[in-house]
Structure 1
C-alpha cells in the first residue's frame, strides 16, 4: 500500500519542479548593478528620462510608498532605479540602449543596489560588517535600507529574479572612495566570485562591466583611479571597462551630469549588446 503513496509523492514533486522551470523565461535577461553614488544616481532626471520601455523592467530593491513601489516587485524601469529619492543612473540608458539593440522577443530586467560614498569593502560578503561599523552615520542610514547588508540584499533580489529570468551580466560603477587602492581589482574579483557562487552561476560565466570615473578632461578629482580600473580585465577575464571619455561631469569633479549618465549608460548597453550577440 505504501508504493502508490511514494509514487504520487514523487510525481507531485516532479510537477512542482517542472512548473518552476516553466516560469523562468530564457528571454528575460537580468542584470545586477551595484556601486556607489554614480551608480546610485546623483543627477536629477528629466522628462525625457521617464519614458518607459515595456521591455525594460526594474526589480525594486527597497520599499518606496510614495512611488507606489514595493521591494521585490517588478515595475517599468524609469528613474529612480536605486532608492526612493535618487536620480538618473548609468543603468537607465544601459537598459534603453540594450532593448533597442536586441530582438523584440528579449526583455530586460535590472536590479540596483548602490550606496553613495561607500568603498568596495561594503560588498565583501564576509567582512562588510567591519566596514559598516566604521561608516559615517549618513551612510549607515542608506545601508539600513538594504537591511544592513547591501551584498546580501543584492543576492536575495537576484535569486528572486532568477525565478523569472536568467542573469546575463553585472554592472559596476565604484572606485571614488577607493582611489589609489592597487588592490581594488582583487577586491572586485572577490565580490564577483561570491556573486556567481551564491547565485549558482559558473565561474567567469557572466560578463562584468565596470565604468571609469569622471575623466581628468572633465575635471575628475578621482581620475587617477581610472588606470587601476583599467587593469580589471587582467584579474577578471570576463570583465570590460567602459570609457567615461566626453561624459559630462558637474563642478564637484565626482559626479556626472544627466547628459553624462546618458552617454555612459549607453556605452554600457552597447558593450553588453556586443557581448550578447556573440553568444
Structure 2
C-alpha cells in the first residue's frame, strides 16, 4: 500500500514538473502587445516569397522563446511577441529565417530599437502570382494584395527598413527562369514605388544548392543586381533539406536568417 502511494505521489510530481517545464520551454500562448515607441525606433522588415521564407523547419524550444523587442504582425493584424512559426500561410508552417534574422539584427541595434516582422510569404507561389496580384489557391489568398494591406497597417506604427525575398522554386524550370530577371525586377520596383521607398534594401535568397535547378536559376539573381539599386543576394550553400528535398530544415533556416541579417547590416553601413 505504501509502495503504491509513493508511486502515485511520484507520478503526480513528474506530471506537474513536465507540464510546467513544457509550458516554460514550449509556450502555447501568443502575447499581443501595444506599440508605444516612436515610429523611427520601430524597424519593420517585410518577409515575402514562398515556402522557404515562410518556413517548414521543425519547431524546437529555442524557436519559441520570445523577446519583447522582436515582434511580428499576426494573422489578425495585431503585433505580438515573435515566436515560431511566425508565418501562417499553411498549417505546415514552421521555422523559417525571419526570427533568427531579427535576433541577429538586434545584436548590433541601438538599445531603444524594436524590430517588427511582417510575414507575408505564400508557400508554392510563383513570381506571376505576386506580380499580377493573382489569387493563390494553395493559401486562399492574394499574396501581393495581402502584402500591401499588411504592410500599410504595419507602417502606422513603424518604419520600413528592409525587404527579404526568398522565392524561385516555382520558377526554376528552363521555361520560366528565362523571364525571371525581368519579372522580379518589375516586382521590386512595384513594391518600392507603392510605399515610396525607392531605395529600401531588398535582399533575395539563392535557391539552396540541394535544389537540382539552383545552379541554373541563381545566376538570374545576380543579373538583377547589375541594374537594381540596394539589391543584394544571400548565398544558400551548405544547407540541408527536409526529407522532401525542397524545404530547408530548421537549422538551415536559422542560418539563412543570420545571413540575411549580415547582408542587411552591410547594406546599411554602405548607406551611411
Tell me if both proteins adopt one fold, taking TM over 0.5 as the criterion: yes
The alignment status of 1:247 with 2:247, answered yes or no, reads: no
Q: State the 1:275 CA deviation.
A: 2.2
Tell me if the contact between 1:185 and 1:235 (Cα under 8 Å) persists in the aligned partners: no
Q: State the 1:140 CA deviation.
A: 0.8
Indicate the residue corresponding to 1:128 in structure 2. Answer: 133
> What is the distance in 1 between the residues matched to 2:166 and 2:112?
29
Instruction: Flag the 1:238–1:75 CA change in 2: closer, same or farther, 3 A.
Output: same
SS at match of 1:140: coil
For this pair of structures, how many residues does the alignment match? 230
Tell me if the contact between 1:102 and 1:273 (Cα under 8 Å) persists in the aligned partners: no
> What is the distance in 2 between the residues matched to 1:154 and 1:92?
18
Indicate the residue corresponding to 2:164 in structure 1. Answer: 171
SS at match of 2:40: coil
Where in structure 2 are the equivalents of 1:95-114 lying within 5 Å? 95-114=102-121
Q: How large is the Cα RMSD of the aligned pairs?
A: 1.8
Indicate the residue corresponding to 1:261 in structure 2. Answer: 253
Output one character per residue of 1:153-202: Cα deviation in whole Å (capped at 9) or x when no partner: 1111111111111101100000011114122122112212111222232x
> What is the distance in 2 between the residues matched to 1:157 and 1:110?
11
Q: 2:57 aligns with which of 43, 52, 70?
A: 43
Tell me if the contact between 2:230 and 2:267 (Cα under 8 Å) persists in the aligned partners: no
Gap regions ≥5 residues in structure 1: 1-21, 63-70, 133-138
Tell me if the contact between 2:123 and 2:138 (Cα under 8 Å) persists in the aligned partners: no
> What is the distance in 2 between the residues matched to 1:27 and 1:273?
16
Where in structure 2 are the equivalents of 1:28-177 lying within 5 Å? 28-60=42-74, 62=75, 71-83=76-88, 85=91, 86-124=93-131, 127-129=132-134, 132=135, 140-142=137-139, 144=140, 148-177=141-170
Structure number with larger C-alpha Rg:
2
SS at match of 1:230: helix
> Normalization by structure 2: what TM-score?
0.79
> Normalization by structure 1: what TM-score?
0.77
> What is the distance in 2 between the residues matched to 1:106 and 1:222?
39
> What is the distance in 1 between the residues matched to 2:61 and 2:227?
40
Gap regions ≥5 residues in structure 2: 1-35
Output one character per residue of 1:101-151: Cα deviation in whole Å (capped at 9) or x when no partner: 212111111111112111111111xx333xx4xxxxxx5141x2xxx3211
Please identify runs of 4+ aligned residues in structure 1 that moved more than 6 A.
none
Q: State the 1:240 CA deviation.
A: 0.5
Indicate the residue corresponding to 1:15 in structure 2. Answer: none
